[in-house]
Amino acid sequence: MSLTLNLLTPSFSPHNNRLISCSFSSQSLKCKREYTSVMIVPTGVGAAIGGFAGDSLPVARALSSVVDCLITHPNVLNAAMMYWPMPNALYVEGYALDRFAEGSWALQPVHQNRVGIVLDAGIEEDLRIRQLQVADAARASLGLPVVEYIVTDTPLEVEKWIDPKTGKSTGRIKHPDSLLRAVQTLVSRSKVNAVAVVGRFPDDDIDDVDEYRQGLGVDLLAGVEAVISHLVVKEFQIPCAHAPAMAPIPLSLSLSPKSAAEEIGYTFLPCVLAGLSKAPQYLVMHSESMEKGCILASDVDSVVLPKDACGGEGTLAFARNEKHKPLIITVEENETVLDDTAYKLGFEALHVSNYWEAIGVMAAHKAGIDPFSLRRNKIPNIGCTSSKPVNGRYNTRERAIY
């Protein structure tokens, strides 16, 4: 007795009166684990791509179509009033990303989070109402689980400046305890497990932001925003992102598209609420982490970042992981004010000219193909470890080491 299974056309079963088909698509037959990549564009360093108002979001969208899981951070995905949902992208705050990279924390994907909002007591009433209207719009129009807000008991008093040594933006809040008390209240009273912070930022002179509005220079707000979110994540181990509150600035007739997302509304809160609503939870590593479907640093296959911004804690942790080192891809076109190249820091990286090339390298890597085999004359004769080569000459693989 023989049984023939037609793989081209569906067959009919008289027993259950339904069509039976067989497909060997990538969705039904999985022979490889998922390919996971991390995209980093450091905050407040004047990145040519990603140093403005969500202008590296197109890169993230393209990368997410190539990989199975893309891990990135708010600076990449936030675009003020604009955002783009990507089912396979994880929105991970920068401090948490560093802890994840070093293996201290794991990422636990979720269906949704209970999001709370902390509003700075220094925000004027009309500007505060604008933030709350955005929160209600996100709940009604997007169905986001934003459950409660709280106003800090003391104005945070945000200060920002450019670090004269590095050229990147940074800053502080004068009353960090007020912020932490507000978050603690939301966590204990409303059981929130993600927090959006809206701090009142000092209003800038037009001359101070004109360069940024032209798509040049360094984002003066970004550095201290990272300081604020790092503070909350370090203390509570939950997702957090920041949205600045500022008075509207006069209309500009000459505005770079890279900065335009911040000019179209009264708040920067929509993208933050969207990102936090499905941000993964952070779990301190222990023996049960593997049993909960968490993503670990050892699951990361590749990391892509600007060529001269390789000195961050997360990048160094990935690069120095002897057991599970991912492919590090550095992008020349995405220049920053930093000068921290892989070469100077003493680790190996594959250097590409732009994100077009980076996407090609990642596609090849995911397919199990040596990326150099796609280039002209980049595959030399196989190397020999003995004293006498059998193929005519000694050869070693030329890898870009930066």
pLDDT tens figures, 256-290? 999 999 888 889 999 999 999 999 999 988 755 55
Q: In this structure, are strands 158-162 and 89-91 parallel, antiparallel, or unpaired?
A: unpaired
Q: Distance of alpha carbon 267 from its chain centroid, rounded?
A: 21
Q: What is the mean pLDDT of the chain?
A: 88
**pLDDT of the residue at 27:** 52
Q: 106: which strand partners?
A: 283
Residue pointed to by tokens 């705050």? 93
Residue 394 confidence (pLDDT) above 50: no
pLDDT in tens, 178-221: 999 999 999 999 999 999 999 999 987 666 688 888 888 899 99
Domains of the chain, each with CATH number or no CATH: 110-284 (3.40.50)
Report the C-alpha gap between 213 and 204 in whole angstroms: 12
- Quick one: which of 149, 155, 141, 88 has its CA closest to 114? 149
Distance separating alpha carbons of residues 26 and 299, to the nearest angstrom: 20
Going by C-alpha positions, the residue among 134, 137, 232, 223 that lies closest to residue 182 is: 232
Coil/strand/helix, residue 326? coil
**pLDDT tens figures, 139-173:** 999 999 999 999 999 999 999 999 999 999 999 99
Main-chain phi, psi angles of 274, to 5 degrees:
-65, -45
**What pLDDT band is residue 326 in, cutting at 50, 70 and 90?**
very high
Tokens of 181: 């008390």
